[in-house]
Amino acid sequence: MRINLGTATAPLPTNEALTSILLDAIEIGYRHFDTVFIYGTEEPLGEAVSKALELVLIKNHDEVFITSKLWCTDAHHDHVLKALQTTLKKLKMEYVDLYLIHWPVEINPSWQQGKLREFCMKK
């Protein structure tokens, strides 16, 4: 049986804490991880997978299934490849198993920042 884990939470723990949580998840059998740039979890997930490989909790990348997504601010044909390359760099991986379009719309990054700022001010 495979156990899956989506890696979005608020507020987000520190990268170190999240890496530890994800490493614990791998150790107890989680094998499918879902992330996206906007979650802020790509780097901790990549670090956890690297540590799991070092500790031989998994033998290779093929033992985990990594899903990431194209964020809507990069949903333009000129931005897709760069966004994927950034994701792979943050994950410290040569590939992801599944790369989805998070929302099938294109959003201007400055609009997104304004809405995010507005949301945070309400909290």
Instruction: Let me know: does 21 contact 45? Beta carbons within 8 Å.
Output: no
- Residue-level pLDDT at 120: 52
Q: What's the burial of 99, exposed, middle or buried (CB within 10 Å: 0-12/13-18/19+)?
A: middle
Largest CA distance in the chain: 45
Take residue 53 and report the two structure tokens written for it: 């490989």
Take residue 75 and report the two structure tokens written for it: 């949903």
Average pLDDT score over residue span 14-24: 94
Q: Which residue has the higher pLDDT, 117 or 27?
A: 27
Question: What confidence tens digit (pLDDT) does each residue in 84-109 have?
Answer: 999 999 999 999 999 999 887 767 66
- Residue-level pLDDT at 105: 74
- Residue-level pLDDT at 1: 46
- Residue-level pLDDT at 13: 86
- In the block, tokens 């979650």 appear at 39
- Residue-level pLDDT at 85: 98
For the chain, give the mean pLDDT. 85
Q: What's the burial of 85, exposed, middle or buried (CB within 10 Å: 0-12/13-18/19+)?
A: exposed
Q: Which CATH superfamily, name and number, covers 3-122?
A: NADP-dependent oxidoreductase domain (3.20.20.100)
Query: In this model, does residue 65 exceed pLDDT 60?
Result: yes
Catalytic residue numbers read 39
Write down the domain spans for the chain. Answer: 3-122
Average pLDDT score over residue span 62-70: 96
